[in-house]
Structure 1
Amino acid sequence: MGNFFIILLLIVTSTLAEQYRLCTPESISNSDIASLTKGNSQISCVPVTDSADCAIKINENKADFGIFNAEELLLAYQFYPDSLLPIIQLKHEDKINEEFEFRTVAVVPDSINSNEGLAALKDGGLCHPGFSESQIWNDYILKFFEKKVHKNQCNRYLSVSENDAYNIRHFFGKACRPGNWVNDPSYDSELKKKYPELCALCNNQKECKYDNNLNHGHMGALDCLTSNRGRVAYVAYHYVQQYFKIDHNNPAPNATPTGYQFLCPNGALQPLTVSNPCAWIQQPWSAIVTRKDNANLMITNLKNWLQAPLQQTETWTIALGDILQRDGKIVYLHEQPTLKSYLVKGREVDLNERPCGHDIRWCTVNEPERIKCQWVAKEALLLGIQPRILCELKNSTFDCLLNISKSEADIMTIDSNYGYLARRIYNLTTVLYTETERQKNSVVVAIVRNDVLSVKNFQELKNKRVCFPDYGGIAWVSFINTLRINKIIEDTNDYPRAIAELLVGACTPGINDTDHSDVTNSYTIEILCASCPLEGSNDTCSAHISNQYYGDNGALKCLAGPGDIAIIESKNVEEFVRERVIYPGDFRVLCKNGSLAGYSGFDVDDDCALSVTIDSEIVGRKYDLSDFQNNDTTDALLKIEDWLGYRPYSRRAIRIYESFKGYHDLLFKDSTVGLESIDSNLKSIVAYKELFQFMDSEHSSVCSIVSNFILIFVSATITLTSYYS
C-alpha cells in the first residue's frame, strides 16, 4: 500500500511539473482560456492585471511566461534587469524582415551640408507630428528629438510645459506642434497664446494644427517640410517611405526622391534611399518573456508545441499559438539576448537624467502602496511625464496630511471621509477630483430604528442622541449641511458647538483625538461624547477599533443602544449586511427633506440620501492659481491618467486604478474611473464641493489655530494602525 501512494505521488508531481504558467490578462477571453487548458494541456493560466503584475509574478516564480510590448519591457527592466529574458520576438506579419517595430527619423533639405550638423537647425523651424491620443507615441518619444537637439535646459521659474515651449522657441524659432501640449485645456490655451511661434508653421495657426492630419500628423509634418515652412520634420520612418514613395523591395526606375535627406543624431547626413537609415529611436518588437533560469526549457517547449506537425496538434496548442501570435508572428532569436541588450539597440534604458521641475512627493501610507507608487513613478518617467515623482512612506493618512501641510510631501489621494479634516485641520485643498464608478459613490444616510422611530423628522432632533461614525467624516459634514438647509441650526464659525447645543448627547469618535480634531471646548466635547462607551483603556470617544461605536457599523451599534439616530455611509455596512451581522429590515432612512422612507432598509434614491458624492480626491497644499508648481502637478497627474488610466484602445504597462500584488485601493481607490479638474461639473463632484461651502464662514478662525495644532500633533502618538501593517 505504501508503494502505491509513493507511485501516486510521483505521478501527481510529474503532472504538476509539466504545467507551465502563462500570464493571462483580461484581453484573453474565458473561451480562449478554456481552449488553452483542454485535454492534456501543459499550460495553466495565471490571471494578471497588467504587464507589471505579470513581470512580478514571473520574477517571484508564480508564472513562467508572458507577452510584453517594448514599453512594458522597458518598465520590467527597471525592476528586474537580470532575472527576466526575452526569448521570442513577435513581429507584424507585413514587417517580418524589419529589425524594429518603428523608427523615428529627422528629415531635412539637401541644402544642409555635413559641416553644419545639428547647428543647421537653429532658427530653422520644427515640423512636429503633434500630440494625439490616437497614436502610440508617448511624450518621451515625441519630445526626444527636440530635447536632444536643443540640449534641454531647465528654468526653475517656469512650469515644465512652458520650459519645453521656451526651449523650442529659443532654438528652432518657429514650429508647428499640434495637439494638446498639456491636458488642462485652459492652461494649454494660455501656453499657445504666450508662444504663438510654435503654431506659426501650421496651416491652421489659430487652432495650431495641420490641414493634413493623416497618419497622426506625420504627413502634415512632411508637408510642412516640403512646403519650406520648416527646416526639419521629426516623423516615423515608414511614413517617410509612404510620402516619398520609397520601396526597397520594388524600386521604381527614375523614382529616386531628391531634395531631402536624413539627419543623424551625430550630425551626419544620409540619403533617403538608404535601406537602414540612422534613427533617433528604434522601437524593439514585442517579445515573449520568461525567467532567466527557465529560458532554455521554455524555448524548447514552445518550439515543440508550436512547430509540431498538424496531425500531432491538440486544441490547447492551437489555442496557445493563436494567443501568443495576436501581437505578431513568432520569430525565434538567433542569439539569446539579455533584457538590456535587447532594448538598448534602439532605446535608452537607464534614464539617469533628472527631468525638469520640482519633484512631486507622493505620500503613501503602507509598504504595498509605496511599491506601487515606485512602479507608477518609473513608468511615468519612461513615458516622458515630468516632473519626477518620488514616493514617501508614512504611517497613516493623518501622518501624510500633516507632512503635506508642512511641505514635507506634496500630494496624496484621500477618502472623501477625510475631506473636511484635510481642509479644516491641515489647510489643504483639492488638486484633482477623482470620478467614482456611479454605483460606488459615497452615499450618506440618516438611519432610525424601525421599531421605535424615535426621530420622525429633523425638527425632532432637539435633545436627542446622534451616533456618528467619526468626527469630521463625510457623515458629519453631510449631517451639518442637512441641518443648515433645513434651518435646524444657523450658519456659524463653530458647528461642533451648535450641534452640541441641539442635542442631549452623541457619540462622535475622534472629536477629542489630537490627530484629527481641533475642538477644545470642554462642553462641546462632553455632549458629543456623552453616548460613547467606556473603552478597555478607560478612554472614551476615540476614533479607534477599541471603541465599539467607532465607524459605520459602530454607529449602528450605538443606535441599537443609547442612540436615537445614526448618520452612516451606507456602502461601508454592505459587508456586514452580506454576513448577516446587520439586518436592513431593522432600520429605516430619514430622508434629507425630513420625511421617513416608505420602506425599511438602507437602499434609497439620491433625493433621499443626505449626500451622494465621489468617494475620494487628490489633495495638496494651497497654491496661487498661477503657481507653476501647481500646473506641473496637475498636468503630470492628468498625463498619468491619460496613459495609465482607462484609455480606449491602449495597453497599459501598469493600471493605476486597479489592484496591485493582490492589494486594493493603493494610490487610488479601485472605484476610481478618472480624474477631473477643480472646475468639473460632474453631479457627484459638484455635490461634494457643495458640502464644504459652509466652511468658508469658519475658515478665518481655523487658520489661527492650525500652527498650534501642528505643534501639538507632532508630539502625539498616532493611534490609527495602518490597514496593511
Structure 2
Amino acid sequence: MAKMNVSVFLVLVFCCVKAVLSQGTGSGNDGNLRLCIVEGRGLYKRAPTHCPILDKEKAGVECVLGTDRLDCLRRISKGTVDFGVFSPEDLIAAQWANIDVLVTNELRFRARPYARNIVAIVNRRILPDSSSTLHAVLKNSTLCHPGETMDDLRPLSETLSGYLESLVLERVCDPTRSNTENKLKALADFYGKACKAGPWVPDKNRDDELKRQFPSLCAACARSCTAADRYWGNTGSLTCLTEGVGDVTWGEADDIAAYFNINDSSSLSGADNFAYLCRDGTWRDLTQEPCVWLRRPWNVIVAKRKASEAVSKLAAALTNSSVTVDRHWRGALSALLESNQALPEPLHPPRAPLDYLARADGFREAYSQAGCHPPRHINFCTTSLLAKNKCDWLSEAGAVYGIAPPLQCVMRSSTQECMAAVEAGDCDATAADSDWLVAGLRDYSLTPVLHEVTPIVEKTSTIVAYVNADSKISKMADLRGKRAAFPRYDGAAWHSVQRYITEHEKISCKDYVEGYFKEICAPGLDGKKCYDAGEMEALNSLVEGKSDVAFISMATFNAFKDKKGASSEEVKKIVPLCPEGNQKYCFVSWSNLGHIFVAKNVTDIRKHEIINVFTKLDQLFGKHPPFHNAMFSMYGPFNHENEVIFHSNTKSLATSAVLKTHPYDKISYNLELFVSNMTDFTCGFGAKITPSLSMLFVTLVVFLIYS
C-alpha cells in the first residue's frame, strides 16, 4: 500500500511538473513564467537561495527582482513579468491605478476565509434595556483604543482604525484645525474619555502638543499614553476593558476568544459582563457568533490576465503538504511565494481585484472614506516627468493607508521654477539638495521643514578641500592666493568655504570675495565657463593641474577612486586638507542629503500637515524595521533610476530638531544651522541670484574678480 501511494505521488508530481514545463504562456525565455520578487530588509535573501533551484530543475519559472510591490504591479501591467505575491492593500492601489490583473490564489495561514475579523466588545453596564442605536449606546462612554501602527496587521492600521471610528463619529472639518486635529476632536467630543495610547503623529514634539490639546483621549490610560502603556495594543485594550477602566474596544475576533477562553469550559471570570456590539446597535453574548465590523482578506497571488491560467496550474503543484520540506523546485517556489506555511487556496475562476475585495465586509469601504470638502491637497512640485510619476505612485500608496491630506503632484521644468511656485503659493512644497539652501532662503523666502538624514557621517552631504599631495599646502590658511575649483556658484561648497575662511582668517566678506583666491572657477560665476557645473568636473580641474584645491564631497572623491580607468597614481596624488578643529572627519561643512522646502509664511496648521504627511510616508515606505512596508520604496530606484526625488542613502525624514540629538550634535560645521542664522547675504555680491545666473550678473562678477 505504501509503495502504491509513493507511485501515485510520483505520477502526480510528474504531471504537475509537465504542466509547468509545457505552459509556454509566460513572458520569459521559452515562455517561462516570470515571478516578481521583493526581497525583505533582513540578512536572509530568498532570491539567491531559491531562484537557482528553479533554473537548475527547469521549473518553467524565472525570478525577477522588483524594487517594491507596486513596481511588480507595474511590471505585470506592462507584461514584462507574469505574477507575484501582493497584500489586499496592494489590490486597492491596483484598482485605483486601473492595472488589469487577476487574483488567482489566496495564501491562507489559517483555516478560515479571512485574515482578520475585527469586532467590537463592550461592558454590559453601558447597554440600554432595549434596542438602541450605535450612537446612543456609545456616546460619552470610555474608549479603550487598541492604538495604531504602520504595520498592516497589529494592532490596527490608521486606515482601518479611522474607518471603525467613522462608523460611530460625526466628521469634523474645521478649516482652522489640521486634519489630525479634526480627527482627534471628533473622537474627544464623542467619548467621555479614552486611552488612545501610542504615537498620534510621528514627530515627538507635535505628538506631545496634541496630547496636551486633547487630554481626555489619554485620561483612561494606565500611565503614559505611549506604546509602553499597559493599555496599548490588542491585549492592552482588552485589559483596559476587563479592569473596569473602559467601556468599549475593537479587536481581532480570535484574540478576544483567546483572551476570554470563550471556547473553553474555564472561561475568564466575569466574561458574562461583556458582549459583542454590532454595527446596527444590537449586541450578542460572547458565546455566540460575533458580528464582524470589518474583515481583512489574505495576501494573494496576482497574475496578468494572459498568464492567469498557467499561474493557477503552477500554484496547484504546491498543494501537497510536502512543500514545507521539499528541497526541489516546489519547495523553492513555495519559499519565494512566502507560502511555506500556507498553501495557495485557488480561486475558481480567478477574479478581478475589485470583485475579490468585495467579499470582505467593510474593507473596500475603509479605503474609500470621504474626506472633508474642499479637500486639502498638498501640492508637491517635482522637476521631471520621472519624478512626477514617482510622486504620483507615492501619493497612491499613501492614500491606500489613509495619509491625509492627500499628496497631489505637480511638475515644473527646474528647481528654480518649483521654488518660485512654492513662494507664489501655487505649490505647497518641493524637494532640493543643500546647494539650494541659501537660494531658497534668500531668493524665494522658503524654509526647510524636513531633512533627509542619515546617521552615517560619510554618507551625508560633505564639503572637503582636496589638494595635490605634492603641493606645499598643509593647512587651510595655505589656500590664500591659490586657484580654487567649486562645483558651482552659490551652492553648498561656495557658502561653506566662504563662511569657514572669513571666520578663521578673520577677514571681511569683501576681502574674501575680492582677493583671497588667486583664481576662482565656479560655474555660474565667471563668463569663461572653465568647466560645466558639477563636482566631478571640479575634481578633474584639480587632477589636470588647472586648480590647486577642489571643494567637493567625500562621495564624489570615493566615486573617483572607484571609477573604472582611474590610475592608482592619480588617486594617490589627491588628498584631503583637514580644517582646524575637524581632523577626524576632515570636512569644511556637512549637511543633510536633501530638504523639503515650504514658504516661510506658511501657517502653522499647514506646516504641521506637510510635516505629518511626509513623516508618515517615511514611516510607511522608508527604512523603518520592523514595520517597513514593501508596497513602495521612497528611497529606492524608480523605473531603474536612482536618486529620484529622494536620495538612496536617506535613512529617514526629520525636522531640524534632529540636529540637536546624538550623533548630530557632536558633528561640527553644519550648513543648515549656519544658513538658518544668516541675515546678511551681501557677501554673495548683494544680488538676488540662484545657481543659474543671468549673463548680466556674470559680467558684473567677472569684472569684480578680475579687475
> Deviations 1:230-282 (Å, cap 9, x if unpaired)?
332122222221233223xx77899995343333334344443343x332321
**Deviation of 1:88 (Å):** 0.6
What residue in structure 2 maps to residue 168 of structure 1? 187
Match of 1:500 among 514, 517, 535: 514
How far apart, CA to CA, are the structure 2 residues paired with 1:297 and 1:143? 39
Specify the code of the residue in structure 2 equivalent to 1:647.
H
Match of 1:565 among 538, 549, 553: 549
What residue in structure 2 maps to residue 107 of structure 1? 121
> Deviations 1:172-216 (Å, cap 9, x if unpaired)?
131111111112222212221221111122233x54678645xx6
Q: After the TM superposition, which residues 425-444 of structure 1 pair with which residues of structure 2 at under 5 Å, given as runs? A: 425-436=443-454, 437-444=456-463
Q: After the TM superposition, which residues 82-121 of structure 1 pair with which residues of structure 2 at under 5 Å, given as runs? A: 83-92=100-109, 95-96=110-111, 98-110=112-124, 111-112=127-128, 113-121=130-138
**Deviation of 1:413 (Å):** 2.6
| 1:26 and 2:42 aligned | no
Q: 1:368 to 1:154 in 2, by over 3 A?
A: same
Match of 1:273 among 287, 299, 305: 287
What residue in structure 2 maps to residue 242 of structure 1? 258
Which deviates more from structure 2 when the two are superposed, residues 343-352 or residues 48-57? Answer: 343-352
What residue in structure 1 maps to residue 416 of structure 2? 398
Match of 2:202 among 174, 183, 189: 183
Contact 2:524 2:693 (8 Å CA) reproduced:
no
Contact 1:210 1:220 (8 Å CA) reproduced:
no
Specify the code of the residue in structure 2 equivalent to 1:21.
R
How far apart, CA to CA, are the structure 2 residues paired with 1:661 and 1:709? 34
| 1:476 and 2:454 aligned | no
Match of 1:261 among 255, 265, 275: 275
How far apart, CA to CA, are the structure 2 residues paired with 1:172 and 1:619? 38
Contact 1:107 1:233 (8 Å CA) reproduced:
yes
Q: 1:679 to 1:587 in 2, by over 3 A?
A: same
How far apart, CA to CA, are the structure 2 residues paired with 1:191 and 1:366? 37
* SS state at 2:364 partner: coil
Specify the code of the residue in structure 2 equivalent to 1:157.
T
| 1:446 and 2:465 aligned | yes
How far apart, CA to CA, are the structure 1 residues paired with 2:88 and 2:25? 36
* SS state at 1:588 partner: strand
What residue in structure 2 maps to residue 628 of structure 1? 605
How far apart, CA to CA, are the structure 2 residues paired with 1:703 and 1:271? 76
How far apart, CA to CA, are the structure 2 residues paired with 1:660 and 1:348? 28
> Deviations 1:115-148 (Å, cap 9, x if unpaired)?
3333321112222112356736211112222223
**Deviation of 1:580 (Å):** 3.0
What residue in structure 1 maps to residue 537 of structure 2? 554
How far apart, CA to CA, are the structure 1 residues paired with 2:32 and 2:599? 52
Match of 1:592 among 579, 591, 603: 579
* SS state at 1:336 partner: strand
Specify the code of the residue in structure 2 equivalent to 1:568.
I
* SS state at 1:333 partner: strand
How far apart, CA to CA, are the structure 2 residues paired with 1:194 and 1:42? 60
Specify the code of the residue in structure 2 equivalent to 1:664.
N
How far apart, CA to CA, are the structure 2 residues paired with 1:589 and 1:254? 70
Which deviates more from structure 2 when the two are superposed, residues 631-640 or residues 283-292? Answer: 631-640
What residue in structure 1 maps to residue 405 of structure 2? 387
**Deviation of 1:468 (Å):** 1.2
* SS state at 1:108 partner: strand
Q: 1:336 to 1:40 in 2, by over 3 A?
A: closer
Count of matched residue pairs: 647
* SS state at 2:351 partner: coil
How far apart, CA to CA, are the structure 1 residues paired with 2:229 and 2:559? 56
Q: 1:618 to 1:315 in 2, by over 3 A?
A: same
What residue in structure 2 maps to residue 598 of structure 1? none
| 1:368 and 2:386 aligned | yes
**Deviation of 1:703 (Å):** 13
How far apart, CA to CA, are the structure 2 residues paired with 1:592 and 1:21? 54
| 1:652 and 2:627 aligned | no
Gaps in structure 2 of 5+ consecutive residues: 1-21, 41-45, 697-707
> Deviations 1:570-619 (Å, cap 9, x if unpaired)?
4225444413368223333332139xxxxxxxxx9744222244322222
Q: 1:207 to 1:305 in 2, by over 3 A?
A: closer
**Deviation of 1:169 (Å):** 1.3
* SS state at 1:230 partner: coil
Which deviates more from structure 2 when the two are superposed, residues 256-265 or residues 398-407? Answer: 256-265
Contact 2:439 2:490 (8 Å CA) reproduced:
yes
* SS state at 1:617 partner: strand
Q: 1:714 to 1:307 in 2, by over 3 A?
A: farther
> Deviations 1:354-410 (Å, cap 9, x if unpaired)?
358732222111122211211211221221222211111111222212212222222
What residue in structure 2 maps to residue 286 of structure 1? 299
Specify the code of the residue in structure 2 equivalent to 1:316.
W
Amino-acid identity (%): 25
**Deviation of 1:30 (Å):** 1.2
Contact 1:613 1:687 (8 Å CA) reproduced:
no
Which deviates more from structure 2 when the two are superposed, residues 419-428 or residues 290-299? Answer: 419-428
How far apart, CA to CA, are the structure 2 residues paired with 1:465 and 1:212? 65
Q: 1:264 to 1:334 in 2, by over 3 A?
A: farther
What residue in structure 2 maps to residue 192 of structure 1? 211
What residue in structure 2 maps to residue 64 of structure 1? 82
How far apart, CA to CA, are the structure 2 residues paired with 1:51 and 1:620? 31
When the two chains are superposed, the root-mean-square deviation of aligned CA atoms in Å is: 3.6
**Deviation of 1:714 (Å):** 12
* SS state at 1:46 partner: strand
Which deviates more from structure 2 when the two are superposed, residues 400-409 or residues 132-141? Answer: 132-141
Contact 1:470 1:508 (8 Å CA) reproduced:
yes
Give the TM-score of the pair, scaled to structure 2: 0.82
How far apart, CA to CA, are the structure 2 residues paired with 1:208 and 1:444? 40
Q: 1:326 to 1:614 in 2, by over 3 A?
A: farther
* SS state at 2:368 partner: coil
How far apart, CA to CA, are the structure 1 residues paired with 2:140 and 2:370? 26
What residue in structure 1 maps to residue 596 of structure 2? 618
How far apart, CA to CA, are the structure 2 residues paired with 1:31 and 1:348? 37
Contact 2:487 2:537 (8 Å CA) reproduced:
yes
Q: 1:361 to 1:689 in 2, by over 3 A?
A: farther
Specify the code of the residue in structure 1 equivalent to 2:539.
L
How far apart, CA to CA, are the structure 2 residues paired with 1:253 and 1:223? 15
> Deviations 1:43-95 (Å, cap 9, x if unpaired)?
110011221111111111111111112222322332235x1111111111xx2
> Deviations 1:411-466 (Å, cap 9, x if unpaired)?
23322232222222222222112123544222322233345x26554444444432
Contact 1:262 1:272 (8 Å CA) reproduced:
yes
Specify the code of the residue in structure 1 equivalent to 2:247.
R
Which deviates more from structure 2 when the two are superposed, residues 103-112 or residues 152-161? Answer: 103-112
Which deviates more from structure 2 when the two are superposed, residues 501-510 or residues 667-676? Answer: 501-510
**Deviation of 1:345 (Å):** 2.5
Specify the code of the residue in structure 2 equivalent to 1:498.
Y
Q: After the TM superposition, which residues 298-447 of structure 1 pair with which residues of structure 2 at under 5 Å, given as runs? A: 298-304=311-317, 306=319, 315-324=328-337, 325-326=339-340, 328-346=342-360, 347-348=363-364, 351=368, 353-354=370-371, 358-436=376-454, 437-447=456-466
What residue in structure 2 maps to residue 580 of structure 1? 565
Q: 1:139 to 1:688 in 2, by over 3 A?
A: farther
* SS state at 2:586 partner: coil
**Deviation of 1:321 (Å):** 2.6
Match of 1:693 among 674, 678, 685: 674
What residue in structure 2 maps to residue 125 of structure 1? 142
Specify the code of the residue in structure 1 equivalent to 2:381.
C
